[in-house]
Amino acid sequence: MSQAERERAEIARSEIEASLTAGEPLIVQPPILRRYRQPSAGALYPLEYLYHLLGDVEGLGVLEVGCGSGRNTVLTALKGARVTGVDISSSLLGIAAARAAANGVSTAARFVVASAHRLPFDDASFDVVFGVAILHHLDLGVVSNELGRVLKRGGRAIFSEPVRNSAFIRRIRPWIPYAAPDVSPFEGPLTDGELATFAKDFRFGRCRAFWLPHVSVARITPGVRHHLHKVHRIDAALLGWVPWLTRFAGRRVFEIVKETA
């Protein structure tokens, strides 16, 4: 599939996401802001750990790639950053702009309709780049080059991405009767090898694995969903006690750094 075809499919997928997102509450509630303001290194959830890696962003220029409806863009602006959210979907960015206005951060959070394959920014424009479940939609080589271009020297990029390293899990996944309605036809989990290739021109920083298979099952199982915190505690404990289980974990949160010389 060509890059243009991929982007058309992504826009179509995003229209579905926008229709599912429209009407949801826009205001970031104080408990949410407290939860993500300064999570610990032992955070149980991938997004919490991503915010731990972001750290103190007050006054920094931050780019969110694939920002969608702006949940994380606005939350990062509320933490004091100057944030630019990029997405290929104008429908999602309309919701994002409304979210920023509702939270009083329209001057700190701006939104640009653009492809991550062609970022419309000058070289060395940002201190930090981040994204949540976006790389597996993209041409990794092209995006890696673009990130290296727009990041300042010493700047960091932080991502949370689905991965699937196990051949056994890849074989059985088609038999699991669950598919999100807003999945485009070409996307799929990455492998640790693909992430390593993506990061080859950067210094690889901190990284953690999340979501052994029981977590994904629990998230779609009626009755069990009310006990997800316990499920995530078990997940973190198992990955801490038995490191080789990392191969079977379905999510990576990682940091890469642009070298200073």
Q: Is residue 223 part of a domain?
A: no
Q: Is residue 15 part of a domain?
A: yes
At 70 the pLDDT is 97
CATH label of the domain that carries residue 103: 3.40.50.150
What's the CA gap between 111 and 141, in Å, rounded? 24
- Asked whether the predicted pLDDT for residue 230 surpasses 70, the reply is yes
Exposed, middle or buried, 197 (CB in 10 Å: 0-12/13-18/19+)?
middle
Exposed, middle or buried, 131 (CB in 10 Å: 0-12/13-18/19+)?
buried
Task: Give 4's pLDDT tier (boundaries 50, 70, 90).
Answer: confident
At 51 the pLDDT is 98
The residue among 179 and 144 whose pLDDT is bigger is 144
Task: Give 184's pLDDT tier (boundaries 50, 70, 90).
Answer: low
Q: Is residue 142 part of a domain?
A: yes
At 66 the pLDDT is 96
The residue among 223 and 31 whose pLDDT is bigger is 31
Q: How many domains does the chain have?
A: 1
Q: Is residue 220 part of a domain?
A: no
- Record the tokens describing residue 50, joined without a space: 């991503």
At 179 the pLDDT is 52
- Asked whether the predicted pLDDT for residue 161 surpasses 90, the reply is yes
* Nearest residue to 39 via CA among 182, 174, 208: 208
Share of the chain above pLDDT 90, in %: 74
- Structural domain of 38: 3-165+181-210+251-257
Share of the chain above pLDDT 70, in %: 91
- Asked whether the predicted pLDDT for residue 126 surpasses 70, the reply is yes
What's the CA gap between 71 and 85, in Å, rounded? 10
- Asked whether the predicted pLDDT for residue 176 surpasses 90, the reply is no
Q: Is residue 246 part of a domain?
A: no
Provide mean pLDDT across the span 12-40.
Answer: 88
- Asked whether the predicted pLDDT for residue 142 surpasses 90, the reply is yes
**β 151-162/203-210 pair status:** unpaired
At 98 the pLDDT is 96
**Positive or negative torsion for Cα 8, 73, 42, 258:** positive
Provide mean pLDDT across the span 62-91.
Answer: 97
Q: Is residue 42 part of a domain?
A: yes
Q: How far is CA 253 from CA 2, 138, 204, in A?
A: 28, 17, 12
Average pLDDT of the chain to the nearest whole number = 90
Q: Is residue 160 part of a domain?
A: yes
Q: Is residue 240 part of a domain?
A: no
Pick the most confident of 56-70, 161-175, 184-198. 56-70
At 11 the pLDDT is 76
At 217 the pLDDT is 84
